[in-house]
């Protein structure tokens, strides 16, 4: 086994509203034990289950109440990779299924519209994974994916959308390992600044807090939708290893769905930016991105996705919570955000 260390992990989010960014640390709700394996203790390389017929993917009834996948508009569907018939589930021709998660792929951008994962903390399996290795998905054409060439430059990272640790659960160790390894597909990956992806003051703290404090204790389950904010103005990127130019998202979103202690359903939405990535060589532009908890209604406008009845479970969107800010939009519209300076700022 590798050496074990204990860190108290804070969450630090940057909020830019008008002037200079305001940065405030957030105390972690718990001490998280993280094992850092030595290179000699790592197991064999990540390997992929070759039985593609057994990928069940996202389960809309995972929490005991229906939570459908985000719906794509017709124009989005026209720009979405169609999954070969033999790999479709329930006639969903735009959904790629994996162990414990599913994705919908944008053809033009060659990345996911979103990734939908399921967390089951009660059946978490703890193990030291093998050496990281990423894979193109052989079920769809490689021209709709971006592989190792995108991540070959320095100071960039292969950023999971659905985190591998979220999938490390199952009725037995074999199921957990297969699911964890399945997260290492480039369809579940975006280019991120290494500090953005590896820093433990980012999404990890939010998910941990929601799972531990707000998910129903006898189940400790959560559904998480994650994706990039895809804009036509995203900065163009090309390194020496690429024979194409790609627009790279500088902001990401996450929706966490859980059953609260009283059994009711709650959905919370967040956006988080990595605007500093555009300082790296190969980018043409630089952007500023606001970081905050946002309403699902606004997230629908931002992404073009439809979260359906889930918007009715967005308690932040239901009223004027203290600390809420109204941000003016072009055309005179406003949107509601809440800067997250402390875990208790999150409305669930």
Per-residue pLDDT tens digits for 251-274: 899 999 999 888 889 999 988 876
In angstroms, rounded to a whole number, what is the distance separating the alpha carbons of residues 347 and 178? 34
Is residue 339 helix, strand or coil?
A: coil
Say if CB 266 and CB 313 are below 8 A apart.
yes
- Give just the sign of the alpha carbon dihedral 155, 152, 224, 319: positive
How sure is the predictor about 333, in pLDDT bands with cuts at 50, 70 and 90? low
Q: β-strand 325-328 against 334-338: which pairing, if any?
A: antiparallel
HSE at residue 217, side-chain half, CA atoms within 13 A, is: 3
Say if CB 98 and CB 145 are below 8 A apart.
no
Mean pLDDT to the nearest integer, 62-71: 96
Q: How does DSSP classify residue 190?
A: E
Q: Cα separations (Å) of 302 from 13, 137, 230, 269, 299?
A: 20, 28, 9, 12, 5
- Tokens encoding 335: 């949107």
In angstroms, rounded to a whole number, what is the distance separating the alpha carbons of residues 222 and 206? 12
Cβ–Cβ contacts within 10 Å for residue 240, how many? 9
Is residue 201 helix, strand or coil?
A: coil
- Rounded to two decimals, the pTM is 0.81
Residue 17 has pLDDT above 70, yes or no: no
How sure is the predictor about 328, in pLDDT bands with cuts at 50, 70 and 90? low
Mean pLDDT to the nearest integer, 65-69: 95
Give the DSSP H/E element, type plus range, for residue 76.
helix 74-78
Residue 205 has pLDDT above 90, yes or no: no
Mean pLDDT to the nearest integer, 207-224: 84
Residue 255 has a pLDDT of 95
Residue 148 has pLDDT above 80, yes or no: yes
The reply to whether CATH 3.40.570.10 applies to domain 43-345 is yes
Cβ–Cβ contacts within 10 Å for residue 323, how many? 14
Mean pLDDT to the nearest integer, 13-30: 35
- Percentage above 90 pLDDT, the chain: 52
How sure is the predictor about 288, in pLDDT bands with cuts at 50, 70 and 90? very low
In angstroms, rounded to a whole number, what is the distance separating the alpha carbons of residues 167 and 183? 8
Mean pLDDT of the chain: 79
Weakest-pLDDT range from 71-80, 161-170, 287-296 = 287-296
Weakest-pLDDT range from 180-194, 248-262, 284-298 = 284-298
- Tokens encoding 92: 């969903």
Say if CB 120 and CB 211 are below 8 A apart.
no
């Amino acid at each position: 086994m590798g050496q074990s260390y204990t860190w108290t992990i804070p969450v630090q989010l940057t909020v830019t509203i008008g002037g200079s960014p305001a940065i405030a640390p957030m105390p972690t709700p718990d001490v998280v034990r993280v094992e850092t394996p030595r290179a000699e203790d790592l197991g064999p390389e990540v390997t992929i289950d070759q039985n593609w017929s057994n990928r069940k993917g996202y389960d809309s009834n995972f929490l005991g109440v229906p939570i459908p996948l985000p719906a794509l508009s017709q124009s989005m569907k026209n720009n979405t990779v169609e999954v070969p018939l033999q790999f479709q589930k329930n006639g969903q021709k735009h959904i790629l299924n994996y162990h414990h998660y599913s994705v919908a792929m944008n053809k033009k951008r060659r990345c996911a519209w979103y990734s939908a994962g399921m967390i089951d903390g009660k059946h978490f399996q703890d193990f030291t994974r093998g050496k990281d290795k990423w894979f193109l998905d052989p079920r769809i054409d490689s021209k709709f994916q971006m592989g190792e060439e995108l991540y070959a430059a320095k100071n960039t990272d292969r950023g999971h959308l659905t985190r591998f640790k979220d999938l490390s659960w199952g009725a037995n160790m074999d199921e957990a390992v297969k699911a964890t390894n399945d997260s290492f597909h480039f369809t579940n990956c975006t280019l991120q600044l290494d500090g953005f992806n590896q820093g433990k003051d980012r999404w990890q703290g939010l998910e941990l807090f929601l799972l531990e404090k707000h998910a129903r204790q006898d189940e400790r389950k959560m559904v998480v939708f994650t994706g990039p904010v895809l804009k036509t103005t995203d900065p163009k990127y090309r390194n020496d290893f690429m024979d194409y130019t790609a627009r790279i998202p500088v902001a990401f979103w996450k929706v966490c769905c859980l059953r609260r202690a009283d059994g009711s359903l709650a959905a919370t939405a967040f956006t988080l930016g990595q605007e500093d990535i555009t300082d790296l060589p190969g980018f043409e532009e630089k952007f500023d991105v606001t970081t905050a908890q946002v309403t699902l209604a606004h997230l629908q406008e931002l992404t073009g996705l439809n979260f359906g009845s889930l918007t009715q479970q967005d308690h932040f969107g239901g009223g004027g919570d203290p600390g809420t800010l109204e941000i003016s939009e072009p055309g005179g519209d406003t949107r509601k955000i809440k800067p997250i300076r402390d875990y208790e700022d999150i409305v669930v």
